[in-house]
Amino acid sequence: MKGVIIAAGYGSRLWNVTNNIPKTLLPFGEGTILSTIINRLQQAGVSSIYLVVGYNQKYIREYLAKTQFGIPIRIIDNQLWDRGNGISVYQVRAEIDNEPFILSMSDHIVSVPALELMVQSEERTNLLLVDPFIKDNFDLDDATKVLVKDTFIAGIGKEIENYNALDCGIFRLEPDFFPAVDKAVAEGKESISAAITELILNNRMRTIKLDKPHQWLDIDTPEAYQFALQQNNLI
């Protein structure tokens, strides 16, 4: 199965930590956030990776050129990186070959067993990994909330009041994700969430729940990064 990592945007909330270097290159464990994501995707069964880059991509290109990974990695240049993140995912459309693929953000650290739940699923519909252990989340205010009903997504967003799970930032997407992006963009909405909303309306978006807490971290702020470093052994 192919994997896609999007690392094209600003990541501005961590600039005071990174000195404007892409946050995915911050040190983590024995490598970086990016190397951790790549290695864990490989361990979970992903066979090749497309890495979508944009803003300050030279740092990521230089890092990949000097770092050895046991998995093929192809860099995809998103020249529209300053637009919605759905545009970044759209750049790999020609590479997917009508197959499901794993989509990861470049700042979400997820355990290998949790990733395996997605990679090994036999469902042929779009899937989002969700965390039902809401009280264990480090930064609930910033988390994307999800309302799950019978494994289907009934609502998603950071501001929704009625929810029973959190978005872990890992998707298993089918090729019909791309027409959903087309429709959302035509309506002036360019985010991944907008395309996911289109899939929800067509009952094409389901969830897989974590089976225990502390299996993922979203590194989006300096505070979240420090927490991630402290909690590294939990995931």
Domain boundaries, the chain: 2-234
Q: Does domain 2-234 have CATH number 3.30.980.20?
A: no
Task: Please list the residues that pair with 5 across neighbouring strands.
Answer: 51, 104
Indicate if the alpha-carbon torsion angle 183, 174, 152, 169 is positive or negative. negative
Predicted pLDDT of residue 200:
94
Indicate if the alpha-carbon torsion angle 7, 112, 135, 130 is positive or negative. positive
pLDDT tens for each residue of the chain, 235 residues long: 999 999 988 665 665 555 678 899 999 999 999 999 999 999 999 999 999 999 889 999 999 999 999 999 999 999 988 898 999 999 999 998 889 999 999 999 999 999 999 999 998 999 999 999 999 998 898 899 999 999 999 999 888 999 999 999 999 999 999 999 999 999 999 999 899 999 999 999 999 999 999 999 999 888 899 899 988 776 7
Query: For the segment 45-73, what is each residue's pLDDT rounded down to a tens digit?
Result: 999 999 999 988 999 999 999 999 999 99
Query: For the segment 18-38, what is each residue's pLDDT rounded down to a tens digit?
Result: 567 889 999 999 999 999 999
Please provide the average confidence, as pLDDT, over all residues in the chain: 92
Extract the tokens encoding 92. Answer: 């790999």
Query: For the segment 187-202, what is each residue's pLDDT rounded down to a tens digit?
Result: 999 999 899 999 999 9
